[in-house]
Amino acid sequence: MQEFIREFVLKEFDHDFGEIPLSALDDAAIIEGIAFTTDSYTVKPLFFPGGDIGVLAIAGTVNDLSVMGASPIALSCAMIIEEGFSGDDLHKIMRSMSDVSKKAKVRIVTGDSKVVEKGAADGLFINTSGIGKRSEHLDHNIKTVRAFRKFKFNWPNDSAIAPGDTIIASGPIGNHGVALLSFREGYGFDTVVKSDAAPLNHMISKALKVGGITSMKDPTRGGVANLLNEWSEKSSVGIRIREEDIPMDDAVVSACEMLGIDPLEVGNEGKALIAVVPEMAERVLKALKGSAEGKRASIIGEASKSIRGVMMETHTGGKRVVEAPIGDPVPRIC
Ligand code: MG
């Protein structure tokens, strides 16, 4: 994906336009004061424990706006439907989209549908785009950061983390990828793990209201390992995390052990990692815990200038370099 972006997108497109431009490769662009993002969903299978492609398509785009600190306004929905796709399934998926958008209080206001011949698509693909705007809470958040240090940005973003910032995980990680794998043909193991897919805008709004957040990001494809490496690179800081503080369900840990995959590399669809000025970290944590999606939030580490890249203190007291995953341990999870 990184190579695709370098070789094709950045080479062919004018990419330095806007306050947070395309070249920032952040969760959303900021253009004329508006946050704007898009994502395509090709998940396989379409229905899985804890959700379906419709839940993902709404939650994923709402979350990409929310982690920029934006308050989501509206979404578009475009569907590519394979000829002969079940009408019952389509109803179920549309209903999921409607339910999740109501929960997030974000409306779907425009869209498109195309039907393609059998074999040209794998059942159903969905693309959603979304726009978001500034809010009082975002303004308060930025003001709060500036009470503690110089901060040139108007939005939390991947390049804004400074040494000392506290890193918080909003809840247990790995559930979405493991739920999907467990359900897929060919793997056939039983687990109680369900996808965590959920919109996070209400939770994030509560955290912004407290203030002090310098960056947020959802650990989707490539998981926490990919996210932390992106942060480290774009903000030019080292990041230290502690394995024992990373919230994880036992069932996720044992499934990952059995499959030989690293839970840090598994995708999530209802979690955020949040970097906060250290002075405000406990208060932001408390606000997260007061929200349904953030009950199990935990401080997992901090940014540091004394290390390079991402380093984890392990359960056994050792140190492990956390690298960005090269391949995708669980393909087509979103
Ligand atoms: Mg994202």
Q: Decide if 315 is inside a domain.
A: yes
CB atoms within 10 A of CB 257: 10
pLDDT at res. 189: 67
Q: Decide if 57 is inside a domain.
A: yes
CA 132 to ligand 1 center in whole angstroms: 14
Mean pLDDT for back-to-back runs of 10 residues, the chain (334 residues): 86 91 95 97 94 98 98 98 97 98 98 96 96 98 98 98 98 95 72 92 98 98 96 98 97 91 96 98 98 97 97 96 86 85
The alpha carbon of 63 and the centre of ligand 1 are apart by a number of angstroms equal to 7
What is the pLDDT at residue 185? Answer: 62
In which domain, by residue range, is 213 found? 2-321
CA 281 to CA 274: how far, in whole Å?
10
Kindly state whether residue 71 falls inside one of the protein's structural domains: yes
Ligand 1 mean position, distance from CA 217 (Å) = 6
Q: How far is the CA of 64 from the centre of ligand 1 (A)?
A: 5
Q: Helices 281-289 and 201-210 meet at what angle, rounded to 10?
A: 150
Separation of 235 CA from ligand 1 center, angstroms? 17
Any domain includes 333: no
Looking at residue 273, its pLDDT comes to 98
Which residue matches tokens 């398509």? 57
Gap from CA of 318 to ligand 1 centroid (Å): 30
219 CA → ligand 1 middle, Å? 7
Q: What is the CATH number of the domain that holds 112?
A: 3.90.650.10
Report d(CA 6, CA 81) in Å as an integer: 30
Degrees, nearest 5: CA angle 61-299-291: 50
- 81's CB contacts (< 8 A; 6+ apart) are 90, 113, 114, 115, 116, 121, 124
Q: What's the CA gap between 155 and 69, in Å, rounded?
A: 6
CB atoms within 10 A of CB 282: 14
Q: How far is the CA of 86 from the centre of ligand 1 (A)?
A: 30
pLDDT at position 332? 86
Whether 119 is covered by a domain: the verdict is: yes
- Looking at the 3D structure of the chain, how many domains does it have? 1
Is residue 136 within a helix (H) or strand (E), and if so which, with residue range? helix 136-148
326 occurs within a structural domain: no
Instruction: Read off the tokens for 229.
Output: 């490496």
Q: Are 230 and 161 in contact (CB under 8 A)?
A: no
Q: Give me ligand 1 centre to Cα 51, in Å.
A: 18
CA of 66 to the centre of ligand 1 (A): 9
167 inside domain: yes
